[in-house]
Amino acid sequence: MNKNLQWKLLGIVAIAVFALWSVWPPFTIKDKSGKVIQKGKINLGLDLQGGMHVVLRVDMSKLPADAKKDALERAIEIIRNRIDQFGVGEMAIQRQGKDRIVVQLPGVTDRERALELIGKTAHLEFRLVSDNVEDLKKALNNEAVPGYELKYMETERGGKEPLLVAKDAELTGDCIVNAKTEFSSRGFGEPYVSLTLNSKGAETFAKITAANVGKRLAIVLDGKVQSAPVIREAIPSGQAQISGNFSVEEANDLSVVLRAGALPAPVVVEEERTVGPLLGADSIRSGLRATLIGALLTFLFMIFYYRLAGVIANIALALNLLLILACLAMFKGTLTLPGIAGLILTIGMSVDANVLIYERIREELKLGKSLRAAISSGYHRASSAIIDSNLTTIVAAVLIFKFGTGPIRGFAVTLTIGLLANLFTAVTCTRVIFELLCEQFGLAKLHMMQFFRATHIDFIGKRKFCYILSAVVIVAGLAIFFMRGEKNFGVDFSGGTLQQYVFDKPVKIDTIRNSLKSLGYGGASIQQYGNQKEVIIRTQTDISKDLTKLFKEQFRDNPFQILRVETVGPAVGKHLRGNATMSLVLGMVGILIYIMFRFNLKYGIAGVVAIFHDVIIAIGALALTARQFDLTIVAALLTIAGYSINDTIVIYDRIRENMRLVKKGGLADVINLSVNQTLSRTILTTAVTMLTVVSLLLFGGEVLNDFAFCLFIGFLSGVYSTVYIASPLILSWQRKIVTKR
């Protein structure tokens, strides 16, 4: 074995061993009680393990100019302290933009309690209560009382007691040094919050209580009166308490927020996504099942069609998957459900390079070259198309990451790593294996099946008919899209709340709708997915708390679980829609510039027109089947753009090559020849990728069903547009230029 080949082989083995060491053990294993048995090196996203993703906006509009400088940082620290005391282990809190905070809480599914804990301003005030009956009557008659305002306090029996409370606080929560839950020695040991004040606060509190014996002192939290006890005597000890018919859990949470301190400004929940553990576990099962099925089908096809070469391609594919997981482990990446989709898609797309190389080797063998010469020439001739096609898809993936949010970024990261790894595994690794077999084992022949013989189809001659057909389909799809209007957009882009429930027994949509009517939401969107036990409800406002309470009353004999809740504010929805549109436009521009750089302007324009064709066809199919657009669909559309241009670039590369080699005939003949020469590769790669897409569509679960459907339609359209749109447009563009001259 020559030293060059020896070093290459050792390098590949070293990389594989290092990757295996980096990733093992890959995933965390827990027992039935939730205790961690084995800590994995790959983090799972909230959509796989369950938990909450919350985007908060800190409202700094009412703050003084000098207090806005560090308000966001103080809010982050206070929220972090609250969550620390709440007991969440692997939380993630980070700043986003000028006034937003992203909070991720793995394993937390009690969303109402978590949102209360995170979002409570916790501005505590001690205010005196007026004992003037006449002033109280005036306030009740909507007459202004100088220095006072009317507030209501909840009583033990559920009523509301009116109180005339001073507008100015005598003391605030800034003086609190400790807060804890204690229990009353009277009655049933009701919980209350005990407060310890600092020295300055204790001194002030002693003066207030001494000067107002016999009066009531209202304890006001975030503008709401919690209690208003009568001051019996001066309290010099610096101890106070808050009672208010709390549950133990409510008292504990209030203690937490008071210990952590008040937020410097109110926070608004602009986006919230909660995934229950049941849906997370189901997503893991669905994702793994789809991955295994897609990988198995791909492996079997490659062995069946390419025999020994297929085995070599499968080795490269396995190494590709290993490198993806190793990179996620080394760089602390997070594997999300869309990330699994990216993993599955990488399986199909990584085969593209191998098919392209093998079909090139087949062509070289037909010219009478030896196997070693055919392998060398096949890799050399296929390399430019492989690099171009992978880099254009990476452009789309980068834009998905730039403008995506949450788990969608996981898809972009996984896809990018997979494509970069593919340039190494499918080109370098497979060639080293071939060289090893030829040099050390005397490999002289390659047996490969061939479904497609040489074709001589006049694709260019059918271009006008295809232009008309495409125009009709596109116009029809866009008409349906615009007729549906806002119904096209899911919660991500229109704002609102999505709630998904699963019942033990089947439920009827009419029964659910009647329940919603009692809350005033009879017109809400209700659908059942997969079976009659699961219900998805979409409303413009978050009614999950009231709806859950109502369901518990109306379905006492039919228990249910909340699978997920997604809430997006209208402003955020518009922002996400704008970002999605921008990402699509920039994706097209990026691909156009790249193709212009690698080929020329007319090739770039023709390629982008074909991409628009495929994207619009997919959009029309989504509208026709009443599927809603969300961030996952944007990722699918950008993937279609990147994958569609792959096929186009391969044909463009062949056209450029044939322009140098073919001396007879015009441009139309060269284009027809190039499309016919690459037709088998175009069909094979799409067919193999479709194996993984179909497995995702059938076995990937409800969350990724629309994503897989969009890819399915887009990839089918991509084969058609590559052959009948992108390639003929080069000729049309060329003739237009000639005519103008």
CATH of the domain at 258: 3.30.1360.200
Q: Is the pLDDT at 578 greater than 80, yes or no?
A: no
Q: Would you say 220 and 171 are in contact if contact means Cβ atoms under 8 Å apart?
A: no
Alpha carbon 270 to its chain centroid, in Å, reads 16
- At 501 the three-state DSSP class reads strand
Any domain includes 593: yes
The pLDDT value recorded for residue 473 is 93
Closest CA to 492 of 546, 561, 544, 538: 538
516: containing domain: 496-568
Same domain, 523 and 641: no
The answer to whether the pTM exceeds 0.85 is no
Mean pLDDT of 637-643: 80
Same domain, 440 and 502: no
Any domain includes 431: yes
Same domain, 655 and 698: yes
Any domain includes 330: yes
Pairing verdict, β 124-129 and 216-221: antiparallel
Same domain, 129 and 200: yes
Any domain includes 29: no
Q: Would you say 512 and 535 are in contact if contact means Cβ atoms under 8 Å apart?
A: yes
What share of the chain has pLDDT > 70, as a percent?
95
Mean pLDDT of 344-356: 79
> For residue 390, which amino acid is it?
N
Same domain, 455 and 587: yes
Same domain, 179 and 316: no
Any domain includes 17: no
Give 154's contacts (C-beta < 8 A, 6+ positions apart): 160, 161, 244, 245
Same domain, 669 and 520: no
CATH number at residue 511: 3.30.70.3400
| Nearest-angstrom CA–CA distance, 215 and 228 | 10
Any domain includes 34: no
Please identify, among 197, 228, 262, the residue that sits at the C-terminal boundary of a domain.
262
Q: Give the H or E element holding residue 153.
A: strand 148-154
**What is the per-residue pLDDT across 221-263, written as a single tens digit (0 to 9) for each?**
888 888 888 888 888 888 888 877 778 888 888 888 888 778 8
Ranges 472-481, 665-674, 680-689, most confident: 472-481
The pLDDT value recorded for residue 355 is 87
Is 66 or 73 the better-scoring residue by pLDDT? 73
How many structural domains does the chain have?
4
Is 483 or 27 the better-scoring residue by pLDDT? 483
The pLDDT value recorded for residue 740 is 42
Same domain, 535 and 633: no
pLDDT confidence band for 738 (50 / 70 / 90): very low
Mean pLDDT of 706-734: 86
pLDDT confidence band for 148 (50 / 70 / 90): very high
Any domain includes 635: yes
Instruction: Pinpoint the alpha helices (H) of 307-450.
Output: 308-330, 337-366, 371-403, 407-422, 430-441
Same domain, 390 and 378: yes
Please identify, among 262, 285, 304, the residue that sits at the C-terminal boundary of a domain.
262
Same domain, 365 and 403: yes
Any domain includes 5: no
Give 285's contacts (C-beta < 8 A, 6+ positions apart): none
Please identify, among 568, 594, 612, the residue that sits at the C-terminal boundary of a domain.
568
Same domain, 324 and 435: yes
